[in-house]
Amino acid sequence: MKKNKKIFHLRGCTTFILIISFIVDSLSGIILYIAPQNRFADWTMWTLWGLTKDQWVEVHTIFGFVFLLVAAIHLYYNWKIFVHYVWSSARKAVNLKRELTAASVLCLVLFLGSVWNVPPFNTVMDIGKYFRDKWEQESSTTPSSSTQSEAFKDLAGNAASDQAENGHGSGMGRKTLEEVVEEQGLSWEDVISRLESQGIEAKPDDRLRSVAARLGKSPTETLRILAGEQ
């Protein structure tokens, strides 16, 4: 009796986790759909509801995995019901050949339309691009592409510059200070001294974006401070 009660509570818990994970994953997916490009988000320290784009990506990813894991647990405890439903649906599908064929063809069209990026399927992506570009158009602090390119060349190397010019995020904000110092050929003592002059105490495993947030600056501006250019 106690075992059944525990299973009942576990089933109820997994059900609520599934619902919450679905809501969070759907919401974060919509936010990422309209969020600005990585280069703009990194440069301006873009946030929505207090979270940066990288944080929204992490939330979306973690809750996506949680949804899959809990769905598997939920399926385990409802396996008999699931199998019965599948077999019942399969028997019905035999008598619904036209409907099954129509659904299969529709899904194939959706898949191919998405892969080939043809109208009207590409409209969905165009709408997302419209909102992503709109962030930059409405911002008064968006730096010119030449300024961005120069900053990335000076501090993040030519590869990062190429990524910025092509609209891809450099991922510099995710790196630790230790990685940044090593990649940029900086002196750790000098970096610590420059941060202390800004009132910041940092450790080698602190991420650049975390230090940037504490400084109230973008990762690119923080890189300039570390390099002694500001």
Lookup: tokens for 108 = 């194939």
Q: Give residue 23's pLDDT.
A: 95
Q: In one letter, which amino acid is 74? A: H
Domain ranges of the chain: 143-230
Q: Give residue 24's pLDDT.
A: 94
Q: Is the pLDDT of residue 126 over 60?
A: yes
Q: Which of 44-58, 62-76, 143-157, 169-183 has the lowest mean pLDDT?
A: 143-157
CA distance 212 to 206: 10
Q: Give residue 172's pLDDT.
A: 66
Q: Give residue 215's pLDDT.
A: 83
Q: Give residue 223's pLDDT.
A: 83
DSSP H helices, 35-96, are: 38-44, 53-77, 79-94
CB 184, CB 155: distance < 8 Å: yes
Unique residue bearing structure tokens 């909102």 = 131
Backbone φ and ψ for 165, nearest 5 degrees, come out as: -70, -30
Structure confidence by residue, pLDDT tens digits, 42-69? 777 788 888 888 889 999 999 999 999 9
